Each structure stands twice: as structure tokens, then as C-alpha cells.
Amino acid sequence: MSLKGPGEARTYDGTPLRIGILHARWNEKIISALLSGVKKSLKAAGVPDSSITIQSVPGSYELPYACQQMVQAAQTGASGLIASATDLLSSSTTDLTSLPKDKSTAEKKPFDVVIAIGALIKGSTMHFEYISDAVSHGLMRVQMDTGVPVVFGLLTLLTEEQGLERAGIDAAGKGHNHGEDWGSAAVELGVKRRGWS
């Protein structure tokens, strides 16, 4: 048994939950695999496709703002400015054919939980440190300010290989898809949050 990971997983019923997934588009191969892992876990927990809303942003730096907008728009039922802001953020001229199209058709009830996914890879400047720090603090702030849990799906990577391993698509096949853990964490938090009130 591995010492790492969330430990023995209980099964939670995700049927009543509405879940938002927000992902960055940088490092598309890694993101795409993580997204598949998240969706696999949500499906296994019974979350209906119609209760999952997927939006994208260009890079990880955009995650906190867009996450806050997604959560607030769903809480207020706003269909105007805020909803169109998330749609605008999700539009892309980049050809990312393997990523799913943004989906805004899910039922418009408040999100029980949002999963923010990004993959930051360290370069030769301080860029990585600043963005990692800003996004981590930003996402924490969104969940504390809104009261809606945000699952931290940000990989802060020293190499691309580390990302492939954590997305479960490394050549050696030794990796594990962390997206699956994030999906399970989202369902557990969403269910427990309903029970806490």
C-alpha cells in the first residue's frame, strides 16, 4: 500500500451534485488526460453529465478569477454579464481538438463544488514561482470567500515528465492520474458540504 494519496476511499453518491470543472489550456496533453480522469471519477460516483459544466481559460493564471465568476454566476442565477464573461473566457482560437467543447448547458443551479485544473511547468525565469503562488492563494481565497469548495487541481511541475506521470500518461506507465483523485475529492466534499448545513 502506498503511503501517499487520500487513503481508503469511501464511496459517495454524487447523483444530486452539480459540479463545475474549470481548466487551463496550456500543456494540453497533460490537461486533457487529467480532465478525463476527473470525468471518470465523477461518472463512477453517479454525477450525471447534465450536472457537470466544463469551462476553459487560456492559462493557469486565469483560474482564480474565472473560478470566482463561475461560482458567483451560478449562485445568483445571473445569465447576463457574468455568464457571458465565463463564455468569453472559454473561447479559444487555439486548435485543441482533443479537449471537449465548453459546456454551458448543464442545469443552472449553484455549484456544490468546483474543480480547478492547470499544469504549470517551471522555465528559466521566476514566472513559474509567481504564478504558482498567485494561483494557489487565489483558489484558496475563492473557496473561503464564496463558501463553495474548490478542488486544487494545479500541478506545479519541474519538468514535463512529472506532469505526464501525474496525468497517468508517462512512457514507463508508472504514473497515476491525479484527476481521478480530484474527481473523488470533489464528490466527497460536495456530499459532506450538504450534510454540514
Among 12, 40, 44, 58, binds ligand DLZ (CB under 6 A): 58
CB closest to ligand DLZ, residue no: 59
The full DSSP string for 162-175 is HHHHHBT--TTS--
**By CB under 6 A, residue 152 contacts ligand DLZ:** no
Residue 52, CA distances (Å) to 8, 18, 46, 102, 124 in order: 25, 6, 11, 11, 37
Instruction: Give the per-residue contact string, 67-96, with ligand DLZ (x = CB under 6 A; - = no).
Output: ------------------------------
Contact pick of 67, 83, 120, 164 for ligand DLZ (by CB under 6 A): 120
- Residues sharing a CB contact under 8 Å with residue 67, sequence separation 6 or more, in sequence order: 20, 22, 114, 116, 138, 139, 142, 150
Stretch in the footprint of ligand DLZ (CB under 6 A) among 21-29, 33-41, 102-110, 183-191:
21-29
Nearest to 74 by CA among 52, 48, 46, 102: 52
35 binds ligand DLZ (CB under 6 A): no
Site string for ligand DLZ, 99-118 (x = CB under 6 A): -------------------x
Instruction: Say whether 176 is catalytic.
Output: no
Q: What angle do CA 10, 16, 19 make, to 5 degrees?
A: 85
Active site residues: 127
Binding residues for ligand DLZ, rule: CB under 6 A, are 24, 26-27, 58-62, 118-121, 123, 127, 131
